[in-house]
Structure formats: structure tokens, C-alpha cells
Structure 1
Amino acid sequence: MSLRDASTSSVILPRSEPSESGLAPLDTLRVATYNIHKGVQGLGPARRLEIHNLGLAVEQLDADLICLQEVRKMNRQGERRFARWPEQAQADFLCPEGYTAVYETNAFTRHGEHGNALLSRWPVVRHRHEDMSDHRFEQRGLLHVELTIAGQPVHAIVVHLGLIKGSRVRQVAQLGAFIEREVPKDEPVVVAGDFNDWGARMRAAMNAMGLKDMVGGRNFTYPSRLPLTQLDFVYARHLHPVSLHVPRGRIWGRMSDHLPLVAEFALD
């Protein structure tokens, strides 16, 4: 089954490509966020490699910015178990032609490391990483990428927040301090990722920083096979939310425990 055959609601309209100079006309900015669960699904002997299907999925999202969480840089156990394990790091493997991949590690494990990634259709100026770990049992971080989009500076921040509510409260406060310190007040910024935010309780704090998302509808992203809640969010400042979409269908429920979230913003 192809991704396009999975469900009519999974079809996403294509975008025009930017020019080499990055100055192509652009009315809306499409931003996708997707926790890819390290490219592997299932438990025990039933574990299966989904990274190749995820490559097709990322292309179909056809977003200007694709914000990914739980992306493996390397994993020795996976390399031994799966014959088709990619030779490239997952961010580079998933990066569509013409895009730039930016990756930073959040967590070091016994067998490898994983973190956040941004795949950008637009030119990357620079990037940085900040540790957001709130306690020793969860290694978390943010990835900040400065871009030039349609001739103007835009900042993208990819996050994966903690499982404990208190951690998320402190991490959102840290995020706010980071933006205050690193992002000029008059420049657009997008913050996207897996907020682990049951009930959107962090929305008020994000709004207080001037970061808005689109509210309304059943934009549930977790768990992917039977979505019951929205854990993934895309917020923005100096951009106006215009649409929000969650691709659905049987194939999307197989590839990760999360569904992707696709948001579109009008440029100021």
C-alpha cells in the first residue's frame, strides 16, 4: 500500500519549490512535526524497521520545514538486527532531495544516540543546541535553526519535552528564556515538536510568550493507531496560523506511535 492510497485525508497538496536564492514568492509557510520513534516499531521478535516508509512519508508531507524527534544518529543494536539498516544517520537518510538536514543529539544510550532534526527546504544560516534535561532519567534538548525564508530571517526551534508535568513547566520556562536571549523580538519564530502535553496545559504559557497555534478540531496525534489526544504542537510568533492537518490512514498508524502534525502559517 502506498502512502497516497492509505486514505484520502492523507493527501497533502504540493508546494512550489523556492528559487536557489531563497527569494521565491511565499504566501504560507508549511511546518510539519513528527516523532518518528527512532525508525522502528513493534516489540520483541515483532520489531520492524520503518525508516524506509518514513522516508516516503516525509516526502509526502511536502513541508517547508520538517521538525523530527527521536531521530537516531547511530545505533549498534539496530545495525546488527536489521539487514536494511541505512548506512547514513537517520536525518540524512530522511532528507528529501533539495533539502538541508540539521541534527543535534539529545540522548546518549548504551547502543547509540538520538535527538532532534530539522529538514529545511530553505537555506540554513546557522544552528545551535541547548540541553533541556530536567533530571537524570530523561535526556532532552532543543534544536534552534536560523533560516532565510523568502528573503527574511526565520527561526525554527525543535523540542521534545519531558514526560513529567513539572519537567515540562520548567522546560517551557527555559524555552522562553532561550527565545528572549537568542531570537530578535521582531523576527518570526516557529516552535514545533513533541510536547508530551496532555490536555494542552502548556498552551497558556506558550501564548504568554507570544507563541500561538491553531486551536479547534480533533487534531489528535497519539497514539497513532487510535488517536486519543494531541501531544504534538506547532507554535509561532509573527506568523498567523491558517490551517492544521493530521494525516490519517492505516499506513500512517504503522510507521510510528505518533502521527505527524502539519500546520500552515501566513507570513506577515
Structure 2
Amino acid sequence: MNLPAYNLRVATYNIHKGVQGIGLARRLEIHNLGHAIEQLDADIVCLQEVRKMNRQAEARFERWPELPQADFLAPEGYTAVYETNAITRHGEHGNALLTRWPVIRTGHQDISDHRFEQRGLLHVVIEVEGRPVHAIVVHLGLIKGSRVRQVARLREFIEREVPAGEAVVVAGDFNDWGARMRYAMNAMGLRDTSDLRGPRTLTYPSRLPVAQLDFVYGRQLEPVACSVPRGPIWARMSDHLPLVADFALA
């Protein structure tokens, strides 16, 4: 008997550490981001540039949340998983995943290509309708050569950690101008919604997007739809717009 497909919604969002603006014009957007993430209504939310703590920001903003940003942003009933990528003078930040489904296990791997950019893979296995789904949150480097090497390390990680017959989602900020990493991702059996007809899913910069730097790829999942929320409030919360992708989990 064929089981009905379950629609799995995955969102990825670089939140720019919850702060926008420069110098004295800096403003705190973390509270608006919390409301926005809830509106996405995603089963899995993959976040980049998430602060665990930052002493400078705590001193600068009166309404700085007491909780780490991942826990603060998690809608009611969601589990938050966070791993640090970078330790800085004033604190630390990394990738996070929020999900409404039970978390089976978590893992992390450093994929830093050089000492000036600290990067990592956050691996979270969740149970969806009784089946394991592997979600990997990425934030790739700014240099093309770094991205190529990091995708190669991603492939090694998937081959080692994800059984061939189990569903996997890879989402995040790929810093991938021109979607040049798509060929390498497709070679792993990972596909996004680029084959579907629809409006262009430009995510950067948020005020006047000209490129898609954020991607959601899936394996053992059928791409169904993809969208990018737009409007003044989305343009002010981060320098990226969120990307929302729907997949059918058969």
C-alpha cells in the first residue's frame, strides 16, 4: 500500500545576529525576527549567524533577550538546537535549527577553510511521521575556493553520517553567486526547487534582492514549491530574506 505524502516545509534564514544598521544607527531586530519566524510556519527552520551570547550587544541594547537567540526565536512547541561556529572578542555565534518534530540526535563538524572564517555543519536528525529526516544547516565561505572545498567536505559528511535510503535536507547561506554549487549538490542526489516554474527566489540583499545566496536542497524528497517573503518589514530585519521550500515526503 502506498502511503500518502507528507508536505515538509523547510525555511532557511541568515538573521545577521539579530541586529541591523551601522554605528549609532544600529537597531535590535531579534523581537521582530521571532514573530517573522513563527509566520513562516515551517517544520524545520535553519538559521545562520545566530548569537549564543554577546557582551557588547547586551550592554548596547536594553531589550537584549536573556535567552540565547536560538531558544528565544523558537516558536512555542519547537525544539531549538544550536552549535557555535565562531568565537569572537565579545561572544560567539553559529548555526541553529528549530523544529516542531522530535529530535533524535544532533552532531556538528567544523568545516573552516582558513582561520579568518569559522564555519561549521550542524546536523540534526528529526522524526517526521515515524521516519528519520536528516537536516544539515550550512553557512559557506565568502571565497569560491573555500566553498568548493566545503561542499566536498559536506559530501564526505553525508556519505559517512546519512544512510543512503534516508531523507536529507541541506539548507543555509551558501554565499553562492550564480548557483555554481548546484552542480556539485545535484551530483550528491540533492535537488532544490530550481526545476519548478515560478518566480525567481532572490534573497540578497533584502532591500533590493539581486541574487539568491540561500538554498534548500533535498534527497529522498520531492520539491513542490518555493517562495521568498517580501515587504518592508522583511527588508529591515536582516540583510537576507528567508527562503521557504516545500517538499513531499512520501
Please, what TM-score do these two structures have when normalized by structure 2? 0.97
- Superposed CA offset, 1:208-263 (max 9, x none): 00000011531000000000000000000000001000000000000000000000
Tell me the residue number matched to 1:249.
231
- Superposed CA offset, 1:106-149 (max 9, x none): 00000000000000010000101100100010000010001100
| Residue 189 of structure 1, CA deviation | 0.1
The answer to whether structure 1 residue 125 and structure 2 residue 104 are counterparts is yes
User: Gapped runs of 5+ residues in structure 1?
Assistant: 1-24
Structure 1 consecutive aligned stretches of length 4 or more whose deviation exceeds 6 Å: none
How do 1:1-268 and structure 2 match up within 5 A? 27-215=6-194, 217-268=199-250
> For 2:222 and 2:5, how far apart are their aligned partners in 1?
14
- Superposed CA offset, 1:41-75 (max 9, x none): 00000000000000000000000000000000000
> For 2:121 and 2:113, how far apart are their aligned partners in 1?
13
SS of match in other structure, 1:136 = coil
Amino acid of the structure 2 residue aligned with 1:184: P
| Residue 27 of structure 1, CA deviation | 2.1
> For 1:103 and 1:27, how far apart are their aligned partners in 2?
26
| Residue 267 of structure 1, CA deviation | 1.0
| Residue 26 of structure 1, CA deviation | 6.1
> For 1:55 and 1:265, how far apart are their aligned partners in 2?
24
Amino acid of the structure 2 residue aligned with 1:163: L
Amino acid of the structure 2 residue aligned with 1:197: D
Amino acid of the structure 2 residue aligned with 1:159: V
> For 1:27 and 1:142, how far apart are their aligned partners in 2?
26
> For 1:176 and 1:147, how far apart are their aligned partners in 2?
20
> For 1:130 and 1:200, how far apart are their aligned partners in 2?
24
Question: Identity rate of aligned residues, in percent?
Answer: 78
Amino acid of the structure 2 residue aligned with 1:245: S
> For 2:150 and 2:79, how far apart are their aligned partners in 1?
27
> For 1:262 and 1:131, how far apart are their aligned partners in 2?
26
> For 1:229 and 1:218, how far apart are their aligned partners in 2?
9
Whether contact under 8 Å (1:26, 1:150) holds in the other structure is: no
- Superposed CA offset, 1:175-202 (max 9, x none): 0000000000000000000000000000
User: Gapped runs of 5+ residues in structure 2?
Assistant: none
Amino acid of the structure 2 residue aligned with 1:65: I
Amino acid of the structure 1 residue aligned with 2:95: N
Amino acid of the structure 2 residue aligned with 1:239: L
Please, what TM-score do these two structures have when normalized by structure 1? 0.90
- Superposed CA offset, 1:159-178 (max 9, x none): 00000000000000000000
